Amino acid sequence: MQRTVVVAGGGISGLTACYHLVKESNVSKVILLEGSSRLGGWMRSTRTEDGAVFEHGPRGIRPAGAVGRNTLCMVSELGLEKDILPVPRSHPAAKDRYLYVNKSLHKLPSSLGGVLRTVPPFTKPLFLFGLRDLVATRGTKEDESVYDFVSRRFGKELADIVIDSLCRGVFAGDCRNLSVRSCFPFLHDAEVRRRSVILGMATSGDKGPVVDSHLIKRSKVERWSQWSLQGGLQTLSEALEDFLIRKGVEIHKESPLRQLERTGDHRWKIKLPDGSLEADHVFSALPAKDLSRLLTHNFEPLVKELQQMRTATVAVVNLEYDGEVLPVSGFGHLIPSTEDRTLLGIVYDSEAFPEHNKNGPSSTRLTVMVGGAWFESCLGSPDTVTPEQILEMATTAASAQLGVREKPSRTIVNINKDCIPQYTLGHWRRTGNISSYLHQLSLPLSLIGASYHGVSVNDCIYNAKKAVHNLLGY
């Protein structure tokens, strides 16, 4: 096909779209336009001279489900099997997760015994919350906040402690504003199908396509919970970049799109700071807000929907300490908003991926996550808060919550502005309206990226592939 396709945005979504465009189609030209000086977007790892790796964005990918298997297939095709660092489900860094409530750490139950007895910070055994779900009636609203849904089906205590924390640990968001239908579609579907979340999930199975590869089989046999790569997850975006260069994709860094408009002959004209180019089809892998700023007034209905999409800012603080300083082993701990609104949680990175520790004597690496949906109300504008302020909060938290009295030997602070989309109430309607609009106008525009149908790396990769397949008519 004699066509030029432009992919806007070189995060993991845009890179994956280019990957499938050159691998599976005969599009004559693929052009990737990235505004910054590097590819990968939020997938960003710092590698130090003494061998340590620090993640500033995603740090672990789940192998489970259709989306998890799809990512593993791409990893194999890119020749990265040798670089995989798996964490088995039996490892403390997979099964031991903590909540910081009433100024102390509480391990979340990971066995049946723990669910049957009362364990702090809860006032009754967790299975009793489940009994309520089995008898609760089906909800009547088209959409509901995650908080309201869980309070209604499992009770307020579970919503206040567990669900509040979970939403902070995945979306850095407030469960009172997030949509259950869009953030946790399996919960919504389970209620619709079986009237009970527990029954619905017990009977849902894994309906993804049956793809099997050596790596997928290995992930099942070794029962992986999550994985990373030697050199950090940035190794994945770098491998994609190398592949695209080899396949002749035109990659333009420091080329932020300024405007996207239609030409008289139904093509796109893309304005860049130093000129313009034309394309037959555009994949936008940009955050929704950024895309809304590029579209001219002819696309007002689309712009309006995109403008309503919200994001949250997270300050990510990497701390390294000499020696083993943690009082517990595990994945990390989350802090419910009732305990501390500003501090979201702490990941114990060196537990899951000791391979990323510096060479030589033992060390501990932690990541403290700060702000999220509470950033502006607690800390003010991300443009005025200083890295020193954030670092002070992070080291104080490590000291108060984990008893780490030592001074960190290395620190890195990043204020990731607008880094996580917030699927608020009605998100499903907004994405539905956008699809109908693009379809009605037969616009040669595909929207991919974390803004729409899932924020995890797996979701971004899966949805980018699906959009390319839709274009190719698969």
Ligand X SMILES: Cc1cc2nc3c(=O)[nH]c(=O)nc-3n(C[C@H](O)[C@H](O)[C@H](O)COP(=O)(O)OP(=O)(O)OC[C@H]3O[C@@H](n4cnc5c(N)ncnc54)[C@H](O)[C@@H]3O)c2cc1C
Ligand Y SMILES: C=Cc1c2[nH]c(c1C)Cc1[nH]c(c(CCC(=O)O)c1C)Cc1[nH]c(c(C)c1CCC(=O)O)Cc1[nH]c(c(C)c1C=C)C2
CB atoms within 10 A of CB 101: 20
Return d(Cα 29, Cα 76) in angstroms, integer: 25
Return d(Cα 320, Cα 392) in angstroms, integer: 14
Q: Which residue has the tokens 């190398």?
A: 242
Q: Does 336 bind ligand X (CB under 6 A)?
A: no
Minimum distance from residue 10 beta carbon to ligand X (Å): 5
Q: Please give the biggest Cα pair distance in the chain.
A: 69
- Exposed (0-12), middle (13-18) or buried (19+): which is 441, by Cβ within 10 Å? middle
Identify the DSSP state of 372.
Answer: E
Return d(Cα 227, Cα 229) in angstroms, integer: 7
The residue range among 164-172, 319-327, 352-360, 385-393 that interacts with ligand Y, by the rule CB under 6 A, is 164-172
Out of ligand Y, ligand X, none, what residue 17 binds, judged by CB under 5 to 8 A for its kind, is: none
Selection from 166, 123, 122 nearest residue 335 by Cα: 166
The DSSP bridge pattern shows strands 410-422 and 4-8 to be unpaired
Query: With CB under 6 A, what is the number of residues at the site for ligand Y?
Result: 21
By the 8 A CB rule, do 367 and 347 touch? Answer: yes
One character per residue 68-107, x = contact with ligand X (rule: CB under 6 A): ----------------------------------------
Minimum distance from residue 17 beta carbon to ligand Y (Å): 20
Q: Does 229 bind ligand X (CB under 6 A)?
A: no
Interface with ligand Y in residues 385-414 (CB under 6 A): none
Name residues whose C-beta falls within 8 Å of residue 110's C-beta, 6 or more positions apart in sequence: 95, 96, 97
Return d(Cα 52, Cα 95) in angstroms, integer: 24
Minimum distance from residue 405 beta carbon to ligand Y (Å): 21
By the 8 A CB rule, do 31 and 279 touch? Answer: yes
Q: Does 352 bind ligand X (CB under 6 A)?
A: no
Tell me which residue has its CB nearest to ligand Y.
345
Q: Does 169 bind ligand Y (CB under 6 A)?
A: yes
Among 44, 91, 97, 281, binds ligand Y (CB under 6 A): 97
Q: Does 379 bind ligand X (CB under 6 A)?
A: no
Interface with ligand X in residues 399-458 (CB under 6 A): 416, 419-420, 449-450, 455-458
Q: Does 332 bind ligand Y (CB under 6 A)?
A: yes
User: Which CB atom, from 34 or from 160, has the smaller least distance to ligand X?
Assistant: 34
User: Which CB atom, from 50 or from 355, has the smaller least distance to ligand X?
Assistant: 355
Q: Does 13 bind ligand X (CB under 6 A)?
A: yes
Residues lying near ligand X in the complex (CB under 6 A): 8-14, 33-36, 41-43, 57-61, 256-257, 285-287, 290, 314, 316, 416, 419-420, 449-450, 455-458, 460
